[in-house]
Amino acid sequence: MTPIHPAPKFIIEGEPLGFNPLLIFTTPISTLDPVVASLAADDHAGRVIAAINEVITQAYR
């Protein structure tokens, strides 16, 4: 059994926040506001992607 990694934790504007990959859902792009930031250059982007990957791979086990 593969261990489940804890949800990534971030400090955003001085506030500790946790990423809960179980709350990911799809939404139509037309309902979103304009982009204000990107994780592309963020040091934590790999942790976010790993959390999403964990949810997807767990669904197929």
Instruction: Give the model's pLDDT for residue 3.
Output: 55
Instruction: Give the model's pLDDT for residue 49.
Output: 81
The count of structural domains within the chain is 1
User: What is the tens place of the pLDDT at every residue in 10-44?
Assistant: 777 888 877 666 677 788 989 989 988 887 788 87
Instruction: Give the model's pLDDT for residue 42.
Output: 80
Instruction: Give the model's pLDDT for residue 33.
Output: 92
Report d(CA 10, CA 56) in Å as an integer: 21
Report d(CA 12, CA 28) in Å as an integer: 26
Report d(CA 26, CA 14) in Å as an integer: 28
Report d(CA 53, CA 4) in Å as an integer: 11
The predicted model scores a pTM of 0.38
Residue 31 lies in a domain: no
Domain that holds residue 50: 1-26+41-61
